[in-house]
Structure formats: C-alpha cells, structure tokens
C-alpha cells in the first residue's frame, strides 16, 4: 500500500425534482446512476424525499448489486430523489463513506451528494471536531454537510445556507442537496467537476454528465456555471449567482481525457470530439511508421481514431474488453489493478500479429498497467509496439478529486521518456504536450492542468497525508505502508 495517500473522490451525482407524484423518482436515479457507473464503482446510494421525510438506501457495490426491484419499489415515493456512485482510493470501508449523506437537524433534514475534493477539508474538520462535532466517515462530504448545517441554523433558507457554506469551502465540489421542500445544485467557483441541468417535461434533473440525462429521457438544458447555485421547488427554478466569477474557470482537463463518457458534453464541448482531437495532435507531435493504430478501451479508442485519421495509418480493433470488469485506474489498491488487467483485456491477434503497432491510451500514471498491456500485444505477435499517450506526463499529485495521490507513485517523476519506454517494454513512447492538451475541447476554455504542470489554481493542502483515523482503518484492514 502506498504511503502518504489521501482520500480522493471521483464520483457521479444525480438529482430529480418531479412535479408529477406518479413519477418514479428512485427508478430515474437508478437508470442515471447506471449511466454514471464509470465515475464510481465502489459504492452507490439513492435518497428520496417523501413529504418531508428522507429515506436512503446505500451500500458497497455496483448499482445493479445494491438495488433490486423490491428496494426500488420501496424507494419510489415522493417527488424528489438524489443518487450517488462513488469510488475511493484506500484506507476505508466503502460502506462507511457511501453516499448520499443524510443529516437530521433542528430545522429539518437534508441529503447531500458530492463529487470532488476539498483542499481545506483537514482544517475545517479539525475546527469542527474542536467544536464538538463527531465524524462517522473519512470523506469531505461529511465536512460539507456540517458546514451547511451550521449555516442553516442561522440562515432563512437552505439555499442561503449553501451560499454561506461556499464562502468557507475551498477546492472542488459539485453538489446536489435535497431538503424537505427543495432541491439545490451547486458547483464550486472554479468549476473543477462537471454538473448539468436537464428537463423532462416540467421535471428538473441534475447530473454529473449529460449522458445520464439521455438515460432518463431528459432534455439537456445547460451546464451549471462555476459558482452557480440552482434552486428548484414548487415555485419553479431560481438561480443564485453571487459566487459566479469569483474565481477563474479551471475545469479538470482529465474529464475530457478519461473520466467522462465519450457521449457526454461538458461545458459545451463534446468529450468524444476532444479525444479524437487529442489523437490528431498526438499524431502531429509524435509520428511513427507503423501498420496499424489501436486504442486501449475505453478512453483510448477515440484518441486512436484521431491518431489514425491524422497519420493515415489504418485503425484496427486491437483489444476486446471484458465489460464486466471495472476500470483499473480507479481500483482502490495496486494489487487489485494488476489482477484485473489479466482478465480485463484480450488482444485480437489477427489485428496485431506481425504488425508494427501504435497503441494509444489516455495516460501513463504508475506504469504497471501499461507494461502488462504491452506484454499482451507482444505475446499476440506484434513485432513493434509504439505507445502514444493522449495525456502529458503526470508529474504532480491532484488535490481536486483524481486518484493521483503523490509524486512518489508517478513513474514520470522518476524516469525519462526513454527509460519509461524501456520499463514498459515499448519501442518508442510519446506524450501529448501540455500546450496541445488545452486545445482539445472545442468550445470550453479555462482548465486545471496542475497534474501535468504543477500550476495549481487553488493552494494545495498543507498536509495532504492520511489522517490518524484513516491510518487506523488501514491497519485494521491489514493495509501496511511500504
């Protein structure tokens, strides 16, 4: 287990406010979470509001493992529901940190679903604990819930409490909050993580990605602007823009490279088109003589198509992916990542045997997965393997919700490009430049590329290591640091 690891989150959130009592709000959440499953595969949950009472079911596992027809039937009540799917890095029980988080206080109840990571979570948590707060999880979400609750006790409305809480929060957060009478969506002033608004007739929905809107038959309305608070209740939809423009827009560029589904549109830019563009630029920067271009499923495929298009080298289907295996990059431990690579991908020997192969993938982080995939191609008969990464070199940890925990675990921090090529077993290796990666979204502008450049838009945490509580959990689970 890696030491100095911080609890990060990269999650999917969804919310629905239905004006028609016959709408099955829990079922809508279920289908939406299915579409957002790629954003988190460790735990999930749905909370519903039935006449002011909030009921929640959540557990560790995939969406279809946590929910069945009987559970959904019990949850299909009321007019509002929020859903969440989550992944974690290490050092915790996934059931403990499963969301949505439900809080009961003297002014009512609140359910909260959160995607992102706060940079001042440790300071806020310590301040709250010294004031008598008792925490049951290790997630930033509980910190946010305490801050909102504190503000709610002295605010005239839940939306005012959320606005005041945003004055205290730093870092990345896209939130969906449900009170007894309202649903609120909020995005941090930098807009690190995506959040959009959709509509089904008169019903309003919020989702991390537009692909979730498609799954429930919702029409895409627009993205929630960075810093914007959107409120929905019986009187309709209202907007609070007090925090809009307080900070420069810095959406995570890795959303376009890896996290989001290719059929999603984020801040006006198609994810599919962005990845194709990355491949085209990669071909210009790192040309090579080869017989076939292949992509590593799933997020490397679009970039491979772009590389083939720009280079004139034929595109081929190089791998078949086992669809029942989760994404290796977001598995909690390194041993889990390595075990799952063995059964996740199988090369199509007819495509690569006797060929000079350009293999395009979204990134190289630690290098172990890449090395295993290259060996698969070699064993299938590829005569040459030329690796092309549609992301630049990862040189810095991320504090805004991506599973890049420290420099010591990043292969590019230790080795040159040539050395990495030798380590992972490829003939040549090329990374997309930092200048080009910011050009891949068509319309959106303003990105965070700190994991590549070290230019953090928000001051990093002073002590990003594990808390004592997290270490104790790790030790209890038998997870020892190297």
Distance CA 86, CA 215 (A): 19
β-strand pairing of 292-295 with 356-361: parallel
Q: What is the dihedral of CA 364, 367, 369, 373, to 10 degrees?
A: 80
Distance CA 258, CA 264 (A): 12
Cα–Cα distances in Å, from 9 out to 39, 290, 425? 9, 39, 32
Annotated catalytic, 434?
A: no
- For 420, residues 6+ apart whose C-beta sits below 8 A from its C-beta are 364, 367, 411, 412, 429
Question: Is the CB of residue 187 less than 8 Å from the CB of residue 227?
Answer: yes
Q: Which of 11, 85, 252, 451 is catalytic?
A: 11
Bond into 287 cis (ω within 30): no
CB atoms within 10 A of CB 78: 20
Active site residues: 11
């Amino acid at each position: 287990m890696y030491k100095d690891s911080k609890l990060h989150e990269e999650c999917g959130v969804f919310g629905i406010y239905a004006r028609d009592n016959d709408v099955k709000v829990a079922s809508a959440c279920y289908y939406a979470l299915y579409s957002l499953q790629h954003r988190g595969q460790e735990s999930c949950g749905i909370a519903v509001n039935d006449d002011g009472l909030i009921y929640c079911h959540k557990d560790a596992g995939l969406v279809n493992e946590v929910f069945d027809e009987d559970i959904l039937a019990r949850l299909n009540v009321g007019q509002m529901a929020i859903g969440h799917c989550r992944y974690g890095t290490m050092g915790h029980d996934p059931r403990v940190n499963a969301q949505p988080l439900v809080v009961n206080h003297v002014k009512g109840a609140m359910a909260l679903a959160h995607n992102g990571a706060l940079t001042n979570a440790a300071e806020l948590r310590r301040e709250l604990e010294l004031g008598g707060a008792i925490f049951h999880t290790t997630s930033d979400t509980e910190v946010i819930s305490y801050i909102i609750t504190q503000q709610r006790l002295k605010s005239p409305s839940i939306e005012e409490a959320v606005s005041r809480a945003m004055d205290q929060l730093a870092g990345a957060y896209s939130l969906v909050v449900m009170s007894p009478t309202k649903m609120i969506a909020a995005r941090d002033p930098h807009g690190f993580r995506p959040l959009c608004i959709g509509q089904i007739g008169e019903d309003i929905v919020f989702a991390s990605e537009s692909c979730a809107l498609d799954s429930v038959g919702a029409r895409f309305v627009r993205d929630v602007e960075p810093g914007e608070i959107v409120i929905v209740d019986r009187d309709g939809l209202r907007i609070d823009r007090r925090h809009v423009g307080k900070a420069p827009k810095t959406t995570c560029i890795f959303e376009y490279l890896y996290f989001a589904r290719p059929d999603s549109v984020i801040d006006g830019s198609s994810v599919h088109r962005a990845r194709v563009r990355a491949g085209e630029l990669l071909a210009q920067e790192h040309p090579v003589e080869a017989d076939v271009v292949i992509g590593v499923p799933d997020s490397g495929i679009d970039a491979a198509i772009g590389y083939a298009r720009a280079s004139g080298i034929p595109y081929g289907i190089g791998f078949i992916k086992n669809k029942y295996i989760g994404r290796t990059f977001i598995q909690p431990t390194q041993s889990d990542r390595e075990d799952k690579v063995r059964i996740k991908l199988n090369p199509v020997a007819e495509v690569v045997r006797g060929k000079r192969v350009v293999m395009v993938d979204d990134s190289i982080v630690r290098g172990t997965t890449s090395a295993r995939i290259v060996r698969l191609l070699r064993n299938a008969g590829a005569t040459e393997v030329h690796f092309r990464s549609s992301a630049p070199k990862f040189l810095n940890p991320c504090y805004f919700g991506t599973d890049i925990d420290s420099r010591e675990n990043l292969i590019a921090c230790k080795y040159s490009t040539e050395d990495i090529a030798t380590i992972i077993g490829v003939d040549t290796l090329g990374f997309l430049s930092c200048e080009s990666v910011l050009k891949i979204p068509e319309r959106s502008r303003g990105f965070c590329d700190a994991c590549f450049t070290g230019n953090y838009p928000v001051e990093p945490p002073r002590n990003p290591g594990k808390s004592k509580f997290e270490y104790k959990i790790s030790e209890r689970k038998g997870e020892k640091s190297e």
